[in-house]
């Protein structure tokens, strides 16, 4: 099995394993999930179970992928998940908290504008089940998607087409994968732009965090979990709220596709330019010293 995997990883041209990897994982996950219906798995859960199995396979393959494709002796460090030493652990923890704080700030700004403009009403309910679901969304979606997009995919694309092209390409793929294509041209276009900007911002966040992925996990997961709680417990949007303002999606709008969300993302993008420049400065100084 190891030899078969190595042959796949070394396929030429160099981009071929990158292109085929995720479709093969999904196919294998689905093939593993379908027989479980004979053991009582409901048919409507086959897709979710297959996706979960695909991600488990992804985790199992990553160490070998990093070793063969990237010549990385510490695969999880190359992916931005872990490094040895208590100092590095504190960097990851600080990055996670910083990402959560940024997400909270963005959602607070969006909510404040909605309330001040009279497009919503604050409810402030607290439901324990919803809070638990939000925590699972934050850790599950944030960890899984950031490991795939800003961990594995961005590293792969950096090596194939360079860091700048890789950052743009991963953001394009991220936006296309997450866009809902039943929203109409205007709604779909706004959401594509918003998701693309989020993909760029998350890539910049990893740069600002010196390669750690935990800031991205906190930011991405915090946005997903926070918006879930806002829509389900804390905020009631007015039916008259225009979709161009708060985002497309009807009763479950995605704020990234609205004017408020896009404005907030652009503001964060501009702020990040300073953070990334500061993060790059020590490395530049070290290179000059050497």
pLDDT grade for 284, boundaries at 50, 70 and 90: very low
To the nearest whole percent, how much of the chain has pLDDT over 90?
A: 52
CA atoms of 127 and 132, how far apart (whole Å):
9
- Report the pLDDT averaged over residues 40-64: 88
Q: Determine the pLDDT at residue 278.
A: 67
pLDDT grade for 289, boundaries at 50, 70 and 90: very low
- Report the pLDDT averaged over residues 121-147: 91
CA atoms of 135 and 39, how far apart (whole Å):
30
pLDDT grade for 44, boundaries at 50, 70 and 90: confident
Whether residue 174 has pLDDT greater than 70:
yes
- Report the pLDDT averaged over residues 103-132: 89
Among 203, 209, 219, CA closest to 141: 219
Look up the pTM and report it. Answer: 0.88
CA atoms of 56 and 225, how far apart (whole Å):
22
Distances (CA, A) of 33 to 1, 27, 29, 57: 21, 10, 6, 13
Lowest mean pLDDT among 73-77, 171-175, 193-197: 73-77
Whether residue 5 has pLDDT greater than 50:
yes
Q: Determine the pLDDT at residue 222.
A: 95
Tens of pLDDT, residues 15-39:
999 999 999 999 999 898 888 887 7
């Amino acid at each position: 099995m190891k030899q078969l995997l190595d042959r796949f990883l070394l396929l030429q041209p160099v981009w071929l394993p990158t292109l085929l990897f995720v479709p093969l994982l999904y196919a294998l996950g689905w093939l593993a999930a379908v027989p479980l219906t004979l053991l009582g798995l409901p048919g409507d859960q086959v897709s979710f179970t297959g996706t979960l199995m695909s991600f488990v396979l992804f985790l199992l393959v990553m160490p070998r992928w990093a070793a063969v494709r990237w010549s990385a002796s510490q695969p999880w460090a190359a992916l931005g998940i872990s490094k040895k030493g208590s100092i590095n652990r504190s960097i990851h923890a600080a990055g996670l908290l910083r990402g959560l704080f940024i997400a909270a700030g963005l959602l607070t700004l969006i909510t404040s504008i909605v309330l001040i403009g009279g497009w919503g009403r604050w409810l402030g309910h607290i439901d324990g089940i919803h809070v638990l679901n939000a925590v699972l969304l934050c850790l599950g979606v944030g960890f899984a998607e950031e490991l795939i997009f800003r961990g594995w995919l961005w590293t792969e694309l950096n090596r194939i087409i360079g860091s700048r092209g890789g950052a743009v390409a991963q953001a394009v793929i991220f936006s296309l994968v997450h866009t809902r294509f039943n929203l109409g041209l205007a709604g779909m276009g706004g959401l594509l732009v918003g998701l693309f900007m989020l993909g760029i911002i998350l890539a910049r966040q990893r740069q600002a965090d010196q390669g750690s992925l935990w800031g991205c996990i906190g930011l991405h997961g915090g946005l997903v979990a926070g918006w879930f709680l806002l829509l389900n417990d804390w905020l009631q949007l007015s039916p008259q709220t225009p979709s161009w303002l708060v985002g497309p999606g009807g009763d479950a709008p995605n704020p990234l596709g609205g004017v408020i969300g896009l404005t907030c993302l652009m503001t964060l993008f501009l702020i990040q330019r300073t953070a990334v420049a500061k993060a790059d400065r020590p490395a530049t100084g070290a290179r000059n010293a050497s």
